[in-house]
Amino acid sequence: MNETDISTSLAEIVRDAAAARTPLAIHGSGSKRFLTGDIDGAPLDVTGHCGIVSYEPTELVLTARAGTPLREIEAALAEKNQMLGFEPPHHGPKATLGGTIACNLSGPRRPYSGAARDFVLGTRIINGKGEVLKFGGQVMKNVAGYDVSRLMAGSYGTLGVLLEVSLKVLPKPAQEITLTFQMGADEAIRSMNTWAGQPLPLSAACFLGDTLYIRLSGTDKGVRAAHIKLGGEQDTRGAAFWQELREHQLLFFAGEVPLWRLSVPSAAPFLDLPGKWLLDWGGAQRWLRTNANAIEVQSAAEASGGHAMLLRNAGRSKPVRPSTMVASHLARELRHAFDPSAIFNPNLSLA
């Protein structure tokens, strides 16, 4: 296990860059580059800042440096029969904690346990002035000061360099089973949302082709009782299915057709767009392979109360972010408050 603290030298680089107004492209292993496209600037490699700083299983809290590989964190947790509750996608063998939090990436468990941002308890960051700042902490409840730690999640490095993250962790469920049901999309959307409104130990729900996949997690007896209530066939390949879904390794994700992600209210009716669909997160995250034009896809997502993003376009161009960004002037002011010299990932716009 590699443990190195290079925060001092990282802060120095940032201070120099701020003074010279040199753009920096913050990166970990590069596994999430498909989400951002190429970033202009001198590379700032955070992978050297790594290691688990503390892990207290009975406090349900782990703190690690941003460059720590997710794999290492998950292995340490597994030893104590615990896990990251947001089931993060890795998208690469060397995926780091910092990149995962910076992109706020969450897996199939997200609707039932929460997103990456929900598990962030505290952070240590370098702001655009090169100052090392600490926000939040290692306790579940903390309302002192603005919630900068959660703001860091999903800010793609545009507000600061993540140095350290404290996360709430969860016990691994004693039992997990996957059930499958044959049905159409409309019925699947209705079923996923109806069941989510009932006291059932759901931990994932996905519709692909003509199959609804439901994962149940909990105690052995609890899971069995829910199986009897719901019916369905038990899929012995279940664990592999959810992992392949999380990592975009299902056949659905292969090939050259552009891949869109639509974030919509989970019970939103099936959208009438051409292409192939995969409905994850109980209907709240919908993947679409389509050649339809961007305006058509984005308008459909917005009409149903959500938004759409083009992630993979056969490697030909940058991702297309949602057309309407929220409160762009507030976002610009906020970014300036953290990074007055505009050095962090400058060509990445979240406003």
Partner 1 sequence: MSRPQPSMPPSVLRESLLPALRRLLPASAVLDTEEDLRPYECDGLSAYRCLPGLVALPDSIEQVQAILRLCSEYGVPVVTRGAGTGLSGGALPHASGLLVSLAKLNRILEIDPLNRTATVQPGVRNLAISEAVTPHGLYYAPDPSSQIACSIGGNVAENAGGVHCLKYGLTVHNVLGLKIVTIDGELVTLGGKTLDSPGYDLLALFTGSEGMLGVIVEVTVKLLPKPERAQVVLAAFDDLEKAGNAVAAIIAAGIIPAGLEMMDNPAIRAAEDYVHAGYPVEAQVILLCELDGTNTEVSEGIAQVRELLTNQGATEVRTAKDDAERLRMWAGRKAAFPAVGRISPDYYCMDGTIPRKHLAAVLKRISVLSKEYGLQVANVFHAGDGNLHPLILYDANKPGELERTEELGGKILELCVEVGGTITGEHGVGMEKINQMCVQFNSAELTQFHAIKAAFDPHGLLNPGKAVPTLHRCAESGRMHVHGGKLAFPELERF
> Looking only at Cα atoms, what is the longest distance across the chain?
65
| CA distance linking residue 27 with residue 289, whole number of Å | 28
Distance (Å) of CA 233 to CA 212, 213, 275: 10, 10, 28
Kindly indicate which of the ranges 31-39, 67-75, 136-144, 207-215 contains the residues binding partner 1, using the contact rule CB under 8 A.
136-144
- 201 is a contact residue toward partner 1 (CB under 8 A): yes
Decide whether 196 or 292 has the Cβ nearer to partner 1: 196
Exactly one of 13, 44, 61, 273 binds partner 1 (CB under 8 A); that residue is 61
Exactly one of 57, 232, 319, 346 binds partner 1 (CB under 8 A); that residue is 57
Exactly one of 305, 314, 317, 318 binds partner 1 (CB under 8 A); that residue is 305
Exactly one of 17, 226, 300, 343 binds partner 1 (CB under 8 A); that residue is 226
- 295 is a contact residue toward partner 1 (CB under 8 A): no
Provide the residue type at 210 as one letter. Answer: D
Q: Give the number of other Cβ atoms within 10 Å of residue 275's Cβ.
A: 15
Minimum CB separation from partner 1 for residue 158, in Å? Answer: 8
Minimum CB separation from partner 1 for residue 271, in Å? Answer: 14
Residues 324-343 that bind partner 1 (CB under 8 A): 324-328, 330-331, 333-338
- 115 is a contact residue toward partner 1 (CB under 8 A): yes
Kindly give the residue spans of alpha helices, DSSP state H, lying in the chain.
7-20, 33-36, 70-79, 97-102, 110-113, 116-119, 148-152, 185-196, 220-230, 238-246, 294-303, 328-338
Minimum CB separation from partner 1 for residue 155, in Å? Answer: 6
Residues 175-194 that bind partner 1 (CB under 8 A): 190, 193-194
Closest to 257 in 3D by CA, of 234, 237, 277, 229? 277
Q: Are 220 and 174 in contact (CB under 8 A)?
A: yes
